[in-house]
Structure 1
Amino acid sequence: MSVLRHRILVIDDEPQIHRFLGPALDAAGYEALRADSGQEGLRGIALWSPDAVVLDLGLPDMDGKEVLEKARAFYEGPILILSARDREVEKIEALDRGANDYVEKPFGVGELLARLRVALRQSMGPKRPAGPLSLGDVVIDLDRRLVTKGHAAVKLSPKEFELLSRLALSQGKVLTHKELLVSVWGAAHAEDTQYLRVFVGQLRQKLEDDPGRPALILTEPGVGYRLVD
Structure 2
Amino acid sequence: MQIADIMALVVPPTVELLRRARAAEGERPQEPEPMFPTLIAVRHQRVVASVSTPRMSITLNCALPMAVGLDPQALVVAAQAHVEGHLALAYSVMTRDRTAKFVLQTVAERDGQLVVGRPADGGEPADPHILQTLAEAMGQRPVDVTRVARKDMGGTFGEDTFLPPEQGQVVVDAGTVKNLQQRVKGVRGRALYVARSPEAGRLALKAGLPRTSLLTSESPEVMATEGDD
State TM-score, norm by structure 1.
0.29
State TM-score, norm by structure 2.
0.29
Which structure carries more helix by proportion?
1
Which structure carries more strand by proportion?
2
